[in-house]
Structure 1
Amino acid sequence: MNRRDFVGLSGLATGALLLPSFPGFGGTLVDPAQLLEQVDPAVKKRLADAALNAAKSAGATYADVRIGRYLNQSIFTREKQVQNIANTESYGAGVRVIANGTWGFSATNVVTEEGLAKAAKLAVEIAKANAKVQKQPVQLAPQRGYGEVSWKTPIQQNAFEVPVKEKAELLLAANAKALENGASFVNSSLFQINEQKYFASTDGSYIDQDIHRIWPTFSATAIDRASGKFRTRDALSSPMGMGYEYMVPKAVDKIAGPSGTGLIGYKNSYDILEDATLAAQQAKAKLTAKSVTAGKYDLVLDPNHLGLTIHESIGHATELDRVLGYEANYAGTSFATLEWKAKNLPYGSKVVNIVADKTQVGSLGAVGYDDEGVKTGQWDIIKEGKLVDYQKIRDQAAIVGQDHSDGCCYAQSWQDVQFQRMANISLKPGTQKMSVDDMIKGVDKGVYIAGRGSFSIDQQRYNFQFGGTVFYAIEKGKIAGMLEDVAYQANTQEFWNSCAATCDQSDYRLFGSFFDGKGQPSQVSAVSHGSATTRFNAVNVINTARKIG
């Protein structure tokens, strides 16, 4: 697609293109063709060595450098129009050092040997200044160097190679499906990210990584013109660590939802036309759906919903910096302190087995090495209901008596300092064969919930409330019609101890977020959470439409 066609399709003059209003999507507007360019690893090694040598010469006992090229393409549509297309690039380097036992950091977009050397020297100056108030020296877990290695997201088709016109037309086709099936309004978007990251350290690592992520999404709204009432159903897609192959639907990747709902779950490919069709129908049906009666219900939670609950009540709660009180932004610290863990209290029922995994194929958090040069892996967080470990990085391991990092350090860009971020945190599926319909057969009075919704959680990651996208009543083992105004309330221990059963591996799917916020200044990261459909017994459900007073 040439530049003239690109500008014409967007319907906007080049100078008027707006950047997406999402965090982490900054950068300089570039021609789409530039998104396919690469930087020679030999050039990056030369630049990295300039920074490492300068840091050591200035007095650093440890140094690492991250040279990053962050590429984003975003396409936005509404009904029959393309509203905006943005192609952005951010390129620069960040240098982190330890001098006098203290961290220092500096970044630059002058990507030359001189520019990186200057940044390295400044980082050492900052570390030495910080050392005046440092109470304890930084203690890094040992890490061997890997030499020159590389890792790439195992994609089948680079999304940036697909013509913008083709992608925009797919979104417009999804909009058309929604409008044909009862939606009054619809908007859709496609986000594509490529992180080209080069890490080098005085430990002897030179790591070149090429990371790809994609996220198609939409929102379909139906309006009752007589009453002015409206209801919305968002896409049931999940952001994925994949290429454009995710947008090519395959029957083998589809999982039927509960009988009587028409819902489809998607694994490694996504049918946006099919989902948009059903979304419009469900948005329209929500206008006349029965409002839930508050009370105790058994909940059957779809993976596209449960992932958010896992994220908030387990993922953030087991980040070691929150546990230690070092991090308190975005809903606080954690109830699951070292003292709490030492008491061996049950985090959940014996059905609850939670793993952290930075290697899971297709997940958003999958990388070969983290931003400290640590090779990634998998480890247990909760085993048969008991908390057995946390998520930690190199300067945290010694605090809990361990000699290694978990490889979950990340920075959203070259200009941000890396710090502890959430790994992919997932609930293991059940080992016995069980479909969603099999699970529902055992529910006398319940609610089935799919899709994410509004939520709140307290400063200790303990008391919470979660909504969803679509809700169905379960009566005597069968789906008994759509519900509205549903949310459930619990505390983390109570909720996970009510976990009664999970479907098997055949139902296992990923939920994800491109924009998990943390820190001050805030940064975002991408993370996935896997699970199969799961049942929780006797959970308190409230009616969110109930009027007070």
Structure 2
Amino acid sequence: MKRRDFVGLTGLAAGALFLPSIPGFGHGLLVDPAQLLEPGLDVAQKKRLADAGLNAAKAAGATYADVRIGRYLNQGIFTREKQVQNILSSESFGVGVRVIANGTWGFAATNDVSDAGLAKAAQLAVAIAKANSKVQKVQVQLAPQKGFGEVSWKAPIQQNAFEVPIKQKVDLLLAANAAALDNGANFVNSALFQVNEQKYFASTDGSYIDQDIQRIWPTFSVTAIDKASGKFRSRQSLSVPMGLGYEYLTPKAADKIAGPAGSDVIGYKNSYDILEDATRAAKQVKEKLTAKSVTPGKYDLVLDPHHLGLTIHESVGHPLELDRVLGYEANFAGTSFATLAWKAKGLPYGSKQMNIVADKLQPGSLGAVGWDDEGVKTKEWNLIEQGKLVNYEKIRDQAAMVGQKESDGCCYSQSWEDVQFQRMPNVSLKPGAAKLSVDEMVSKIDKGIYIAGNGSFSIDQQRYNFQFGGQVFYAIEKGKITGMLEDVAYQANTQEFWGSLAATCDQSDYRFAGFFNDGKGQPSQSSAVSHGSATSRFNAVNVINTGRKLG
């Protein structure tokens, strides 16, 4: 991180510390916002530069090479109560060259985006590969991949968020803050993140792929204080980061999905009403101050998609990354209990209601692209069918390791200066086939808890034993929501939890959860991923009280 980036970031006041790490700003220079609207290189220029790199790599002895020319644009707007805290815009531009020489990978990157710069980076990548080959025991075996020629993909956005005046975006955030304050909140922070990845990929397989990817994430945190007791409670937004443009912040009634009657929870599909959510959040944090503390025990859980996405991410998405399964990767999320030997035994991952699909295709999802970062066309494939593990997430140099002939198209790099590697695609729980509403699901529960929003969690190094919290919790008694609860978390292991999956609502309730900055690797990289699901029921799950006094 450059010094001026650090100075800019530390301008965020302590009240904004709830915000996650800012995606992208560690990989770019702070710029005037107007620079984000300037056009980059045209496709012909990119192809000429890419060929300079590919030709230099082959001349130096590479048997395979790919070139990624990347322009990465980011903007973050941060507010607190009635003032703007910070506005940060950044741009990063450069090239990464990856090669195979002597059966070994080599990689080099440069911000000298010229014929000479690319040739030099390619030559360095080959030299690194040859040096690495002296200690390489097994040669890289790439799954075959046809070239696609000159093709392109662009996110199907309606309004480029970078083209929207900053004042308009600031006014929206401040209006959300005002809505929270007017409804009883004492403190509120809000932020809007926008990302544009302009990526060009070329390889010796014969692909020249130009892609334009957009992402957006509005978010906030609302806090209420009981001055008499000194207690405080908070609730974060129920927004979902999406692969959409600014149209996401134009709410549509059809995109709103109500939680069960009595819960005062609203979920959102392809558009988001930040004013409504901030208003509800303020009312809910006041209610949380006097809510009953949960009594530990076994409960049937009804989990909202915004909450369930995190559980899917940690207990399914990460453990099925093949590099973790094979023991090549353990950073941030550990390895995996779901080894090849475990899979061979045919052990159940969950109940027959558990059907998990992986993809990088779903429109509006964070992971949606046409091709991954090693030129593989994206697709959909099954990971778990009726509770049985049937496949993993893999890339070109992993396929042969599990006896398969093609990549799944889930290779990704966070920037031009980082090497691409296996990352989680969108991983989603299929909705139920039979028509089932959330209210119908709740009506069949005698003793349960409805949970919306994701909170703190912990999970062990093999993605097996875990504990999850949430944002808001409601007691279910004899088929009805009876009031808000506090101090709720549930504990289980992955097989036990997914084995308790009893029902999933139908497609009409299906929506995304998502994460803007999923970390992995060393040096660490960040990627964005979505998880789709409908509201789901899990029977007899162990619920604990998270430590505050009961009653």
- TM class, shorter-chain normalised? over 0.9
Which residues of 2 match residues 14-413 of structure 1 at below 5 A? 17-18=8-9, 21-26=21-26, 27-38=28-39, 39-413=41-415
User: CA 1:15–1:309 in 2, change beyond 3 Å: closer, same or farther?
Assistant: closer
In 1, distance between residues paired with 2:44 and 2:9? Answer: 35
d(CA) in 2 for partners of 1:546 and 1:184? 22
Matched AA of 1:185: F
1:294 to partner: Cα distance: 0.2
Q: Name the aligned partner's letter for residue 297 of structure 1.
A: Y
Distance 2:376 2:8 in 1: 39
Question: What SS class does the counterpart of residue 107 from structure 1 fall into?
Answer: strand
Deviations 1:146-196 (A, max 9, x none): 000000000011101100000000000000000000100000000000000
Query: Once the 2 structures are TM-superposed, how far is the Cα of residue 25 of structure 1 from its aligned partner?
Result: 2.4
Alpha-carbon shift at residue 17 of structure 1 (Å): 4.1
Q: Tell me how far apart the structure 2 counterparts of residues 350 and 254 of structure 1 sit (CA, whole Å).
A: 30
| In structure 2, distance between residues paired with 1:433 and 1:37 | 49
Between the aligned partners of 2:373 and 2:167, the Cα distance in structure 1 is 35
* CA distances 1:447-494 after superposition (whole Å, capped 9, x unpaired): 000001000000110000000000000000000100000000000000
Corresponding residue for residue 540 of structure 1: 542
Q: Which amino acid aligns with 2:212?
A: D
Q: Aligned to 1:151, what secondary structure does the other structure show? A: strand
Deviations 1:120-155 (A, max 9, x none): 000000000000000000000000000000000000
CA deviation after TM superposition for structure 1 residue 34, in Å? 1.5
1:18: Cα distance to partner?
A: 3.6
Query: In the aligned structure 1, how far is the partner of 2:70 from the partner of 2:134?
Result: 31
C-alpha contact 1:79 1:176 (8 A) present in aligned 2? yes
Query: By how many angstroms is 1:14 displaced?
Result: 12
- Number of the residue aligned with 1:3: none
Counterpart residue identity of residue 526, structure 1: A
Quick one: structure 1 residues 274 and 45, their matched pair in 2 at CA, closer, same or farther if it must change by over 3 Å? Answer: same
TM-score by length of 1: 0.96
Give the aligned residue type for 1:181. N
CA distance in 2, matches of 1:221, 1:547: 20
Q: 1:69 to 1:270 in 2, by over 3 A?
A: same
Runs of 4+ in 1 over 3 A off after TM superposition: 13-21
1:486 aligns with 2:511: no
Q: Distance in 1 between matches of 2:66 and 2:45?
A: 17
Residue of 418, 421, 427 corresponding to 1:419: 421
Question: Is 1:454–1:467's contact at 8 Å kept on the other side of the alignment?
Answer: yes
- Change beyond 3 A, Cα 1:14–1:312: closer
Match of 2:510 in 1: 508
Q: Shift in Å at residue 545 of structure 1? A: 1.6
Does the 8 Å CA contact 2:318/2:333 hold for their aligned counterparts? no
Output the amino acid matched with 2:281.
Answer: A
Q: CA deviation at 1:547?
A: 7.1
* Cα offset, 1:330, TM superposition: 1.0
Partners of 1:257 and 1:347 in 2: how far apart? 28
Trace 1:422-437 onto structure 2 (pairs within 5 A). 422-437=424-439
Does structure 2 retain, via aligned residues, the 8 Å contact 1:356–1:378?
A: yes
Give the distance between the partners of 1:487 and 1:261, measured in 2 at CA.
18
Which whole-Å CA distance do the structure 2 matches of 1:375 and 1:255 have between them?
33
Pick from 526, 529, 532 the counterpart of residue 527 of structure 1. 529
1:386-429 per-residue CA deviation (whole Å, 9 max, x = no partner) reads 00000000000000100000000000000000000000000000
- The alpha-carbon distance between structure 1 residues 131 and 16, as it changes in their structure 2 partners (threshold 3 A), is closer
> Aligned partners of 2:5 and 2:100: how far apart in 1?
44
The one-letter code matched in structure 2 to 1:34 is Q
Output the CA distance in 2 between the equivalents of 1:260 and 1:108. Answer: 57
Shift in alpha-carbon separation, 1:336–1:473, aligned structure 2, 3 A: same
| Identity across the alignment (%) | 79
Distance 2:238 2:5 in 1: 33
SS at match of 2:455: coil
Equivalenced residues, count: 536
How far is 1:16 from its partner? 6.6
Q: In structure 2, what is the Cα distance between the partners aligned to 1:265 and 1:508?
A: 10
Correspondence for 1:10? none
Separation (CA, whole Å) in 1 of partners of 2:442 and 2:30: 50
Q: CA, structure 1 residues 189+407, in 2 after alignment: closer, same or farther (shift >3 Å)?
A: same
1:381 alignment partner, SS class: strand
Letter in 1 for 2:392: Y
Aligned mates of 2:172, 2:189 — CA distance in 1: 12
Q: Which secondary structure does the structure 1 equivalent of 2:442 belong to?
A: helix
Q: Which amino acid aligns with 2:380?
A: Q
CA displacement at 1:24 relative to structure 2: 3.2
Shift of 1:37: 2.1
1:323 touches 1:333 (CA, 8 Å); kept in 2? yes
| Matched-pair contact (CA < 8 Å) for 2:329–2:521 | yes
Structure 1 pair 173–409 and aligned structure 2 pair: CA distance change class (3 A): same
CA positional deviation for 1:546? 4.9
Contact 1:140 1:395 in 2 (8 A): yes
Counterparts in 2 of 1:206 and 1:540: CA distance versus 1, 3 Å: same
Q: 1:443 — aligned with what?
A: 445
Q: What's the CA shift for 1:33? A: 1.6
Letter in 2 for 1:22: I
Question: What one-letter code is carried by the residue in structure 1 that aligns with 2:37?
Answer: L
CA–CA distance in 2 between the matches of 1:480 and 1:337?
43
Per the normalisation by structure 2, the TM-score is 0.96
Residue number in structure 2 paired with 1:9: none
Q: Distance in 2 between matches of 1:337 and 1:367?
A: 28
Distance 1:79 1:546 in 2: 29
CA–CA separation in structure 2 for the residues paired with 1:14 and 1:442: 54
Q: For 1:167 and 1:505, how far apart are their aligned partners in 2? A: 32
Q: Name the SS for the 2:238 alignment partner.
A: coil
Looking at structure 1, the residues matched to 549 and 133 of structure 2 have their Cα atoms a distance apart, in angstroms, of: 56
| Distance across 2 between alignment mates of 1:193 and 1:77 | 18
